[in-house]
Structure 1
């Protein structure tokens, strides 16, 4: 008798649609998406908002920018949940098989970069507070954090879920408690404390910061919502999680600026003599975003090099870990520039789905090699987003990309 060989089930379905047995309910999706938005770099935007706006301007920017970000990620969340396809599989439909390499490379590059920055954001301040700025201690922390965060991305969606269930409640509760304690120790109400702002920022400018803070990461939303049991679950979980998660990060950054002149709730907790809680919150906060970022990078590289996701996650993790400190000190501004290149990708993914739904009914159907109008839209959109100072950069890029794609659709239909 021949032995039947058992095939290992790929719980991440990197190169195919997520089947029914891989689907997850609302609570799990909400926790995954909320953990994804707990991004320490978003606190930097909160600091800028607090420095440039009064309290009411801060809230208006939060609501306006949050609505735009929610709409963008909600649409991507819907498409991912409806099709069960990852961002890279969706890109194959929208950009063509080889055209999808562009979007995969862009998302992988930026996510590896932010992964590295995130590791350094943990290791550098902790080494400074606990080990007197010891370089040896800093690199030890870099390696430990890199290994742990890479491992959770390596083991896939189930591992991401476990980390999110642990980290999300702790970060939300402990961070909020620290924020309230800081406000109580300040002079007057929170409105009074915001009033020291220089007033150098407009509400629209503030909304631009809100959108720009996580619009690049938000482009990867389908990688996670494809596991939602239905489109409604994926969409609602995404919109609510992005609004709550980002709002918390902005408030954390704003209070850090008002209370200690910094940009991270870690600094606030240190000032409140909550050192071990500060380390816990900082580490978990970064972990929930970093493993998602690395997971996304692994899927992108798997699409480009036609490899399994797991080895690509390892490669991404090693690169991000080794370069983390350099990225933190030398590449953050470039990553912010690159943030503007991804919204054009996202809007084309959305337009492609809604305008060509029949193409998505058969996920394995042959696709074109390159959709040059889609590729051109991303390139032109990125250029406009980075060079045009009027309005909100990411929206400018999306408009240009959408126009290019729509022109391409018109040409395609006339053939």
Structure 2
């Protein structure tokens, strides 16, 4: 897992990866991608129309100047955290769930696989259900069979893309992301016309109230759980600095733009989702293009994430069986209508997931900056890091319950600080007898 030595696990043998995406072994230097390629994939990941709904909640609660400040602050926090995760992924060449083996142990890492993989399956079902409902709304279909057919067809398309791995997601993102951004910019232009241009937008008074802390938490929370899995893609980067910069582009710029677009839509059309704005403008065809183009690539990324989580959990060298299995489960969830009740549950997991990334970052800074030795074998459980994760999660949860601070940020910072602090304490104790 070293950044300078190709690990022996990549060599021929019974554990040799047969998947070109290397789901459970380091990505070799020969398979690394360009900075442009990585930026396209990460930007495509964050150009996600449901994020606009978070922006819509902010848009009606603040003046335009304060709104920009909130979006900038939240996006900066999110971008910095994901950049750190992306840097570690590039240096190790491993996915988040495989890196967790070295921070939580071979058995302890199962917690990471369950949380990350399970969350992504849930989100997959939510998006499939959303596609079915919005398509039926656009075309005036009222029958369940019609919605179900759309859900199944869309799921098959996304599943195939995820099975192709990095290459499939790159091409889908390369084609759809510019089109989606162009449509979004056009809707923004129409939105400005509705309120008399930029001066009119700035003069709109807030209609609801929200604290700045809650608003920043909302911005960070939009993609902090998904950002914890950024190493799934940045492990293909040629250097840590390239990975960090690509993450900043995707999660600071891309995610920030989608929140801003949603806020503008809410201010002018009283509708944060641009798909529905296009419907209201009578542009149903373009609304469907935006819907499918956007959610196709984002949900393919989601399917890929639970595929690599499954490969790690069951110690298999291929992600494809787990991609297919997860897609089936997610589609069944959507078909049964569970997606209408999953949002609160999945949002709660946003509190529990970021501390995982914090522990991995802290552990990397303490122990693995020079690369993990080839002969290093993880212990079954690293109780100290699991305890840190538990403490950071409880503090993040209490922060959310009492509306004090920014829960995802508190979970991340506490996890990093405690992991590094405890490492130094135990290292000092170990060195004391040796010195004596």
- How does the TM-score come out when normalised to structure 2? 0.89
Summarize the Cα distance change of 1:65–1:364 in structure 2 as closer, same or farther, 3 Å threshold.
Answer: farther
What whole-Å deviation, never above 9, does each CA across 1:16-60 have from its counterpart, x for those lacking one?
110112111011100000011122331121011112111111100
Are positions 1:309 and 2:319 aligned together? Answer: yes
**Unmatched 5+ stretches in structure 2:** 1-15, 431-436
**CA–CA distance in structure 1, aligned partners of residues 33 and 100 of structure 2:** 23
Pick the aligned partner of 1:367 from 352, 374, 378.
378
- Following superposition, the deviation at residue 370 of structure 1 comes to 0.8
Alignment correspondent of 1:400: 414
**CA–CA distance in structure 2, aligned partners of residues 134 and 175 of structure 1:** 30
- Following superposition, the deviation at residue 188 of structure 1 comes to 5.1
Summarize the Cα distance change of 1:107–1:176 in structure 2 as closer, same or farther, 3 Å threshold.
Answer: same
Cα pair 1:259 1:268 within 8 Å, conserved? no
Q: What SS does the corresponding residue of 1:266 show, helix, strand or coil?
A: helix
Are positions 1:117 and 2:131 aligned together? Answer: no
Cα pair 1:344 1:381 within 8 Å, conserved? yes
**CA–CA distance in structure 1, aligned partners of residues 49 and 219 of structure 2:** 13
* Correspondence 1:18-167 to 2 at 5 A: 18-167=27-176
- Following superposition, the deviation at residue 412 of structure 1 comes to 3.7
**CA–CA distance in structure 1, aligned partners of residues 259 and 291 of structure 2:** 15
Q: Which moved more, 1:193-202 or 1:97-106?
A: 193-202
Alignment correspondent of 1:322: 332
Alignment correspondent of 2:3: none
**Unmatched 5+ stretches in structure 1:** 1-6
Summarize the Cα distance change of 1:156–1:364 in structure 2 as closer, same or farther, 3 Å threshold.
Answer: farther
**CA–CA distance in structure 2, aligned partners of residues 181 and 313 of structure 1:** 40
**CA–CA distance in structure 1, aligned partners of residues 389 and 133 of structure 2:** 35
Alignment correspondent of 2:293: 284
Alignment correspondent of 2:395: 384
Summarize the Cα distance change of 1:190–1:19 in structure 2 as closer, same or farther, 3 Å threshold.
Answer: farther
Cα pair 2:262 2:273 within 8 Å, conserved? yes
- Following superposition, the deviation at residue 258 of structure 1 comes to 2.3
Are positions 1:352 and 2:352 aligned together? Answer: no
- Following superposition, the deviation at residue 254 of structure 1 comes to 1.4
Q: How many residues align?
A: 409
Alignment correspondent of 1:3: none
**CA–CA distance in structure 2, aligned partners of residues 364 and 334 of structure 1:** 40
**CA–CA distance in structure 1, aligned partners of residues 203 and 82 of structure 2:** 29
- Following superposition, the deviation at residue 377 of structure 1 comes to 2.3
Pick the aligned partner of 2:261 from 248, 252, 255.
252
- How does the TM-score come out when normalised to structure 1? 0.93
Cα pair 1:208 1:393 within 8 Å, conserved? yes
Cα pair 1:373 1:407 within 8 Å, conserved? no
- Following superposition, the deviation at residue 327 of structure 1 comes to 3.5
- Following superposition, the deviation at residue 351 of structure 1 comes to 1.0
What whole-Å deviation, never above 9, does each CA across 1:88-139 have from its counterpart, x for those lacking one?
2211111111111111111111111111111122210111120333322111
**CA–CA distance in structure 1, aligned partners of residues 82 and 106 of structure 2:** 24
What whole-Å deviation, never above 9, does each CA across 1:272-303 have from its counterpart, x for those lacking one?
22211111111111122111111111111111
Summarize the Cα distance change of 1:190–1:123 in structure 2 as closer, same or farther, 3 Å threshold.
Answer: farther
Cα pair 1:46 1:252 within 8 Å, conserved? yes
Q: What SS does the corresponding residue of 1:360 show, helix, strand or coil?
A: coil
- Following superposition, the deviation at residue 407 of structure 1 comes to 4.9
Cα pair 1:384 1:397 within 8 Å, conserved? yes
**CA–CA distance in structure 1, aligned partners of residues 132 and 420 of structure 2:** 46
**CA–CA distance in structure 1, aligned partners of residues 263 and 382 of structure 2:** 43
Summarize the Cα distance change of 1:165–1:182 in structure 2 as closer, same or farther, 3 Å threshold.
Answer: same
- Following superposition, the deviation at residue 189 of structure 1 comes to 3.2
Summarize the Cα distance change of 1:214–1:239 in structure 2 as closer, same or farther, 3 Å threshold.
Answer: same
Cα pair 2:358 2:411 within 8 Å, conserved? no
